[in-house]
């Protein structure tokens, strides 16, 4: 049911958010450009800018490259990237990344650590212990916060996780490649940080889709599919400009479409899932290679793609087979979604680069002519940072929805000592 | 990019639409109920009702069942169902339906005709000629319009078609089971009617999804999948409360997901598509039955389901096999969409009723536990009228978005003589 129209106060809040989002996504802009793009008059822009400046979210200054026209140059509104930031956490199967990302999307600082993975047999090594993981994430984040100094304010935090996550309480419901044993990662991490901000936990591929849509290959594409390979295969889907969440937030689990009934066994219990046919383990297995602690998955996948390019027949056949099933899965998705773009990220980025012809040929054969006519196949423009950038964008959502309110609440919050 | 806040005029238009949509979807309502549900005060409701009454879209009257309280009963706002209507066209492979549907969703009057279908071999019979089809539709519609009289105004028209339709120009791009040879059905029909309203052409399953979401089994379910069986198998998908259209409007073609690689040949050129494995022709073929002009597809499917229920082994095995593939396709869709509900319509309604246990078992096996946990499987509550009701809802969209403007334009339009 449609809601009735908004109040004046709601309109002001909406406009503040719209202006801040504009400079956050598009970068510094003059009042004239803001007025034109937001459909507001100059005096409204001036009032909004003044509120955002007072809150410490933007500042106005002379453009860095002076304009060509003579006379006084127009001031530009610039996001306060160093003073207002979020913490973005990316939990991969092989590595942990924590970054401090400033308003405007600038990665200001980062920490990375390799981590031991759960063995393919299911036995967990010591380094895969979820407590150790949270310890490592919290320590890295605290070090970033200390370095940022007291002048800077953390306005949000989010964590990209390779598993399916319930929207209502951020609980990880299924993460066969990285078991967290029912731990409420977000809550634990938030307490350990003591910054007064919650840590949202989201599926990594969903965040990848958001990142590529906002800042990557899919800018301006309102219907896109992001496919993410780590050990597993996940998906994030944007339809009509919005993330497909589904009833509980589990939408986009394209890794568990059955493309090959009776095919390879999958971690989910089925056979022939897309993940089972095109995942990292299958590619390495077909290529006669093993993962090893020295060569984590992503590099092992790259080694197969490189070997295939140099003419290694076993590697080439392995890539061909994986490319075929990946192409068939993409053809199904093209029929179902009629997307404007399909983006390959994580290890699937490398697979796509090595098997593009194969994948395109399967899409041409398997998808309806009309549905595939305008689809573009692309690799993730944000490279290995796709899911990390997505976590940052997700973490900024609150402050962009209600900038002044959120900042006032955070600055007024009594500082709680971080739990060591 | 977020747009800036709306003007006062936009708010008024929005509120008029919200009020009209409320009584259209939920039925007659008192001012008090409207004020509460729309979040507006009573004086605003009174002003809006007065505008809509002046435009002839609603009227206020005493409730038909008097309230229990003593004193003057509160007036209710009621949509002008007999004075404001749309024309809904439903083109099935076996039958044509045209209905006059009043504001509020009341089917006021209807005409139906059986039609010859394109033979399975691909040769067209005379009665499947698209010109004859349009003639039949136009004649039926004109008879309905005449009967409605001069007091009634047609505010929109839409046609449900079993094929994929380009959003930008309503062109049918692919309709293997009903060839229209590139004819712009909507334009031709609109000219023939001469009512000054365009005739939108939409994919039938997409309209089915809209209908079940607004008035059927899926009311209140924001993520649902509607599966429609005619000769082919189509899908309509609602995500986050909105129809999944995709880049060009072809979204939802779940009939061409390949569930069984190397399986039965499909009209699209692939093998093992969901449509090829669970469509009407396959069920009849497996059951050793033929379509015939005397028993059109839907009735032939019902006959198989009835025979299976009476213990006919061949029919039971056929239904079992079709149910298995249908269940596997649904399991994939549950993983991809995490829907709150999957609705079976058209001939798939009968297949579901005959093979529910089989379908549920495949979903339990093939879908992730979290993703299927809350999904409900249901048959179309609107029965054989699902796609017709969807066409009516689509046709009402313009007047609900801007009620007074649309009505003023139509009543001011110079009457053009219908093209005979």
Give the pLDDT confidence of B243-266 residue by residue, as tens digits.
Answer: 999 999 999 999 999 999 999 999
Q: Specify the higher pLDDT residue, A179 or B207.
A: B207
Cα(B245)–Cα(B356) distance, integer angstroms: 29
Of A121-135, B103-117, B210-224, which range is least confident?
A121-135
Q: What is the pLDDT of residue A406?
A: 87
Whether B220-381 and B8-79 are alike in CATH topology: the answer is no
A416 confidence band (pLDDT: 50, 70, 90):
low
Cα(B257)–Cα(B264) distance, integer angstroms: 13
Question: Is the CB of A336 less than 8 angstroms away from the CB of B2?
Answer: no
Question: Where are the domains positioned within chain A?
Answer: 8-79, 84-206+386-412, 219-381
Give the full edge-to-edge strand order of the sheet including B106-114.
Answer: B106-114, B95-102, B84-91, B153-161, B199-203
Q: What is the pLDDT of residue A116?
A: 62
Partners of B223 on chain A (C-beta within 8 Å) are 245-247, 251
Closest residue of A to B271, CA-based?
A366
pLDDT tens profile B271-287:
999 999 999 999 999 99
In a 3-state reduction of DSSP, which class is residue A115? coil
Nearest Cα of chain A lies from the Cα of B18 at a distance, in angstroms, of 5
Sign of the dihedral defined by the CA atoms of residues B386, B387, B392, B394, in that order: positive
pLDDT reading at B235 higher than 90: yes
pLDDT reading at A51 higher than 80: yes
Whether the CB-CB separation of A30 and A76 falls below 8 Å is answered with yes
Partners of A333 on chain B (C-beta within 8 Å) are 336
pLDDT tens profile A369-384:
999 999 999 999 999 9
pLDDT tens profile A276-317:
999 999 999 999 987 676 677 889 999 999 999 999 999 999
pLDDT reading at A122 higher than 70: no
**Averaged over A131-147, what is the pLDDT?**
94
Provide the CATH number for the domain formed by B220-381 in this structure: 3.30.420.40
**Averaged over A12-20, what is the pLDDT?**
94
Neighbours of A219 (CB within 10 A): 13
List the end-to-end C-alpha distance of chain B, in Å, as a whole number.
48
B175 confidence band (pLDDT: 50, 70, 90):
confident
**Averaged over B21-26, what is the pLDDT?**
96
Nearest to B242 among A240, A247, A369 (CB): A240
pLDDT reading at B181 higher than 50: yes
Q: Which 8-state DSSP code applies to residue A255?
A: G
Superfamily of domain B84-206+386-400: ATPase, nucleotide binding domain (3.30.420.40)
Q: What is the pLDDT of residue B177?
A: 76
CA atoms within 13 A on the CB side of A96: 21
Question: Is the CB of B338 less than 8 angstroms away from the CB of A246?
Answer: yes
Superfamily of domain A84-206+386-412: ATPase, nucleotide binding domain (3.30.420.40)
B411 confidence band (pLDDT: 50, 70, 90):
confident
Across chain B, what does the average pLDDT equal? Answer: 90
Q: What is the pLDDT of residue B410?
A: 84
Partners of A237 on chain B (C-beta within 8 Å) are 336
CATH top class, domain A219-381: alpha beta
Phi-psi region of B326 (alpha: psi -120 to 50; beta: other; left: phi over 0): alpha
Closest residue of A to B375, CA-based?
A247
pLDDT tens profile A392-408:
999 999 999 999 888 88
**Averaged over A226-234, what is the pLDDT?**
94
**Averaged over A21-34, what is the pLDDT?**
95
Q: Specify the higher pLDDT residue, B129 or B189.
A: B189
B101 confidence band (pLDDT: 50, 70, 90):
very high
Nearest Cα of chain A lies from the Cα of B34 at a distance, in angstroms, of 11
Q: What is the pLDDT of residue B126?
A: 38
Q: What is the pLDDT of residue A128?
A: 62
A420 confidence band (pLDDT: 50, 70, 90):
low
Partners of B369 on chain A (C-beta within 8 Å) are 173-174
Question: Is the CB of B335 less than 8 angstroms away from the CB of A375?
Answer: no
Q: What is the pLDDT of residue A117?
A: 55
Structure tokens at A229: 């390979």
Closest residue of B to A9, CA-based?
B5
B3, B5, B225, B273: best to mutate for the A interface, most A CBs within 10 A:
B5
**Averaged over A153-180, what is the pLDDT?**
90
Across chain A, what does the average pLDDT equal? Answer: 90
Q: What is the pLDDT of residue A174?
A: 85
Closest residue of B to A220, CA-based?
B1
Provide the CATH number for the domain formed by A8-79 in this structure: 1.10.10.10
């Amino acid at each position: 049911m449609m809601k009735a129209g908004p109040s004046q106060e709601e309109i002001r809040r909406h406009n503040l958010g719209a202006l801040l989002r504009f400079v956050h996504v598009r970068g510094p802009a003059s009042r004239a450009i803001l007025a034109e793009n937001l459909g507001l008059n100059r005096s409204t822009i001036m009032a909004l800018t003044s509120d955002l400046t007072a809150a410490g979210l933007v500042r106005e200054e002379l453009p860095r490259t002076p304009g060509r026209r003579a006379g006084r140059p127009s001031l530009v509104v610039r996001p306060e990237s160093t003073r207002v930031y979020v913490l973005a956490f990316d939990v991969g199967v092989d590595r942990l990344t924590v970054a401090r990302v400033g308003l405007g999307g600038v990665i200001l600082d980062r920490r990375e650590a390799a981590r031991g993975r759960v063995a393919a047999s299911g036995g967990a090594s010591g380094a895969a212990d979820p407590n150790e993981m949270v310890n490592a994430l919290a320590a890295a984040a605290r070090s970033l916060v200390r370095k940022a100094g007291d002048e800077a304010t953390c306005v949000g935090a989010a964590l990209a996780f390779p598993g399916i996550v319930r929207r209502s309480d951020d609980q990880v419901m299924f993460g066969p490649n990285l078991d967290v044993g029912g731990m409420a990662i977000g809550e634990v991490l938030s307490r350990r940080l003591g910054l007064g901000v919650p840590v949202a936990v989201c599926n990594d591929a969903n965040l990848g889709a958001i990142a590529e849509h906002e800042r990557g290959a899919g800018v301006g594409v309102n219907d896109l599919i992001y496919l993410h390979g780590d050990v597993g295969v996940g998906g994030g889907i944007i339809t009509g400009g919005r993330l497909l969440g589904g009833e509980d937030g589990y939408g986009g689990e394209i890794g568990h479409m059955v493309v090959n009934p009776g095919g390879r066994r999958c971690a989910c219990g089925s056979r022939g899932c897309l993940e089972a046919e095109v995942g990292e383990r299958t590619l390495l297995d077909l290529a006669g290679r093993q993962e090893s602690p020295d060569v984590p998955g992503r590099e092992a996948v790259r080694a197969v793609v490189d070997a295939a390019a140099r003419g290694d027949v076993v590697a080439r056949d392995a890539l061909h087979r994986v490319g075929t099933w990946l192409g068939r899965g993409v053809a199904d998705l093209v029929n179902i979604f009629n997307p404007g773009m399909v983006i390959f990220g994580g290890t699937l980025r490398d697979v796509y680069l090595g098997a593009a012809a194969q994948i395109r040929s399967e899409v041409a054969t398997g998808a309806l002519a009309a549905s595939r006519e305008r689809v573009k196949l692309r690799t993730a423009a944000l490279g290995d940072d796709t899911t990390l950038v997505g976590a940052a964008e997700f973490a900024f959502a609150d402050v962009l929805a209600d900038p002044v309110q959120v900042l006032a609440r955070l600055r007024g919050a009594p500082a709680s000592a971080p739990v060591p």
